[in-house]
Amino acid sequence: MKTIYFEKDIPRVLITKFAARFCKPLLYTGLNAVKYNRRLPDPELPAPNWLRVRNIACGLCGTDMSFFKATTGIDSAFEPIPASKRTFLGHETVGVVEETGASVTKFKVGDRVTIREYMAGCGNKDITPRCKYCEEGNYNLCLNYGEPSPHDLPDVGAGWGDMYIAPEQQVAPIYDELDNDQAVMVEPTCVSVHSVLMAPPESGEKVLVMGCGTIGLGIVQALKVVQPECEVWAMERVTTRQEFALKLGADHILAGNPYEAASRATGGSRVFVGIGGNSMFFGGFDRVFDCIGGNWSNTTALRLMRPRGTLVKVGHHMQSICFDENPIWWHEMNIVGVDAHGMEEWQGRSLYTFDLVQEWIRDGIYSTDGFVTNHFKLDDYKKAMKLALKNSPDVIKIVLDC
């Protein structure tokens, strides 16, 4: 098996953190905590409900970049949770089932599939009985995140490799009508759609999307699917992504000073400026989708919302941060967290985000055209990472061909 993983080797992790901040060329050497192992033995299926998948392609996402830079902080909520020594990268994947265990019932050899339950919970650890959240389909909220698997698991692999093994409930079928580029877009699209359905706007609301990477652009499009009568602003510095956001349904670009622009857009008060440019105004957007995360983004998002507005937290950096919490109590803000995907309620149906998204793509309701901009061979993953970290204006979704 060939596969790429993050190894919890403290000296390497510290070197990777140093390199990300002070000496980026070191990230692309053998000192990085992310390793590419081409000689691991092909793992045996640990139980009869497991299957083997041969990868076709897999997208590169922000989580993969976080591991490549070792951004997880020792003060984050993740740190005290027991984790495996190796975290296998890649979950925006499409592959073909190559082998099935004796009790697999949902898939057969030759089926195209993608990873659905990639978080460390009941699904990918094959824990039974499953916790109440996994049982209802909301695996993203699993209560067994820190518990060990009942199996003595080998190196299981994931999307950034030639193959992986998984229990059948961890993967989802890819619809026949979708091509492989559409298939690798299913998982990130699920994040965008789930974000909107967690806090759907009402008709006439003014909505701001902060950050127009893959997820933010998907949210722009999903907002107009869910509520065509909302008015959407996109906050993005890169001109080509601004243009793409407008093509996907954004009504405006929030340009210039964000406080002045937000006040004008929403009919807010004059902007008050204090020491060091510290700014605040009254009024603002009904709803803000923060796809950036971090100190500045959290502070700014809260100050650009009207009283009792809703902040939807999508972007994050796997570490604790500092931000101004005063608008939360002062203006009685609502904050909605978003963790990947799960089960959705849509037009009287309850279904997995993965099924809803594929229906939308298949039926022409949601388009993935233009999202995949670059392909790299698996062996060239460092070149893909270097391009992603440059934040080139022409890059949206990078895909590794496996």
Give the start-to-end residue ranges of the domains of the chain: 3-185+368-401, 191-337
CATH class of 191-337: alpha beta
The stretch 56-80 carries a mean pLDDT of 89
pLDDT at 84 over 90: no
Both tokens assigned to 354: 């993965």
Q: In angstroms, rounded to a whole number, what is the distance separating the alpha carbons of residues 62 and 134?
A: 24
H-type helices in 227-290, by residue range? 239-248, 258-266
Please give the backbone phi and psi of residue 262, each rounded to the nearest 5 degrees, phi first. Answer: -65, -40
DSSP letter assigned to residue 135: H
Query: Which residue did the predictor score with more confidence, 319 or 201?
Result: 201
- Residue-wise pLDDT for 113-151, tens only, equals 999 999 889 999 999 999 999 999 999 999 999 899 999
pLDDT at 78: 83
pLDDT at 236 over 80: yes
Both tokens assigned to 258: 């964000």
pLDDT at 73 over 80: no
Measuring CA to CA, which residue among 158, 240, 187, 197 is closest to residue 61?
187
- What CATH number should be reported for the domain whose range is 3-185+368-401? 3.90.180.10
- The torsion region of residue 271 among left (phi > 0), alpha (psi -120 to 50) and beta comes to beta
By percentage, how much of the chain surpasses pLDDT 70?
Answer: 100
- Residue-wise pLDDT for 32-42, tens only, equals 999 999 999 99
Where residue 75 falls among pLDDT bands split at 50, 70, 90?
A: confident
The stretch 220-238 carries a mean pLDDT of 97
Please give the backbone phi and psi of residue 285, each rounded to the nearest 5 degrees, phi first. Answer: -75, 150
The stretch 256-265 carries a mean pLDDT of 97
Q: Among 49-63, 66-80, 268-282, 342-356, which is the least confidently predicted range?
A: 66-80
pLDDT at 237 over 80: yes
First to last CA, the chain: 12
pLDDT, the chain, mean: 95
pLDDT at 336 over 90: yes
Show Cβ contacts of residue 214 under 8 Å, excluding neighbours closer than 6 positions: 61, 188, 192, 371, 396, 397
136 to 58, 133, 145, 150, 169: CA distances (angstroms): 27, 5, 16, 21, 13
Please give the backbone phi and psi of residue 344, each rounded to the nearest 5 degrees, phi first. Answer: -125, 150
H-type helices in 23-127, by residue range? 62-69, 122-125
Q: In angstroms, rounded to a whole number, what is the distance separating the alpha carbons of residues 247 and 212?
A: 12
pLDDT at 275: 97
pTM tops 0.85, yes or no: yes
Measuring CA to CA, which residue among 105, 116, 106 is closest to residue 138?
116
Both tokens assigned to 228: 């065509």
DSSP letter assigned to residue 157: -
pLDDT at 85: 87
The stretch 40-48 carries a mean pLDDT of 96
